[in-house]
Chains A and B, each alone.
Chain A
């Protein structure tokens, strides 16, 4: 390799790693993290996130096994995310893109035993359909929307879906996976980090 190119490579790669080091330190100290889990596990989950899409899983990774784990769900309204947290090890297992249409709560809700394939939301003469629903206490649901109240198919982009009251809307694969969450898992709804 040419001597000049060698020197340029050494300088540029060193500068790049210095930049990356500073950037990592800055993000770990000032980034947005939930206090219930380690920052390292949150960063790994963020790195695996896809763009929000109703037909695809939220992360570019297989779903983690959740049997025999102490779980908690933390739904954040403004960032539009649900964190699935292993409370024993303080690890984020998965991050889900979500439209949280419930108000922030001081006390956690609970996941119910009730879950099913299809659900209808009726308001007067209007009806919306959703699939893979999971019941939450106080008459709320986690589901994946199929049609809106005017019976139109919902768009692919999860952030453009018309909201339905008392629901948390997620993508189809995520809703299917969330149906495996055990009963009585706490779900905490917060406004922001």
Chain B
């Protein structure tokens, strides 16, 4: 399944998605200077990225199967 995914442009899109998500996280951390929001640390950000990537890969595999 993963080999099939790597043949297409899925992982390119995933990388683009990750980069945009990192920008969203940085903007959130900047807003946290002014609003009482808890900042996301580096480790938490990486963990969040990994979990979201796994969910997206899982969803893509489900879509391909159906």
Closest chain-A Cβ to B6's Cβ sits at a distance in Å of 15
Instruction: Give complex CA distance A12, B56 in Å.
Output: 8
**Interface flag for B38 (CB, 8 Å):** yes
- Cβ–Cβ contact A12 & B17, under 8 A: yes
Instruction: Give complex CA distance A2, B9 in Å.
Output: 11
If over half of A's interface residues share one DSSP class (helix, strand or loop), that class is named, otherwise mixed; here it is helix
Mark contacts of A11-53 with chain B using CB atoms, 8 A cut-off: 1 yes-contact digit, 0 otherwise. 1110110011001100110010000000111011011100000
Most chain-B CB neighbours within 10 Å: which of A20, A31, A61?
A: A20
Find the B residue at minimum CB distance from A19: B48
Instruction: Give complex CA distance A16, B29 in Å.
Output: 13
Given known contacts A12-B17, A15-B55, A23-B40, A47 and B48 CB-to-CB distance under 8 angstroms = no
- Cβ–Cβ contact B38 & A12, under 8 A: no
Instruction: Give complex CA distance A61, B32 in Å.
Output: 13
**Interface flag for B65 (CB, 8 Å):** no
Closest chain-B Cβ to A44's Cβ sits at a distance in Å of 5
**Interface flag for B66 (CB, 8 Å):** no
Name the contact of B52 in the complex, choosing from A15, A23, A24, A61 (C-beta under 8 A): A15
Instruction: Give complex CA distance A85, B55 in Å.
Output: 44
Closest chain-A Cβ to B45's Cβ sits at a distance in Å of 9
- For A20, the chain B residues whose CB sits under 8 A away are 28, 37-38, 40
- For A61, the chain B residues whose CB sits under 8 A away are 33
Among all A-B residue pairs, the 9 with the closest Cβ atoms:
A40-B36, A8-B17, A27-B38, A5-B13, A43-B36, A12-B52, A47-B32, A24-B38, A47-B39
Known: A4-B9, A12-B17, A24-B38. 11 other contacts (CB 8 A): A4-B10, A5-B13, A12-B21, A12-B52, A13-B21, A13-B24, A16-B24, A23-B44, A40-B36, A43-B38, A47-B37
Q: Which residues of B contact A (CB under 8 A)?
A: 9-10, 13-14, 16-17, 20-21, 24-25, 28, 32-40, 44, 48, 51-52, 55-56, 59
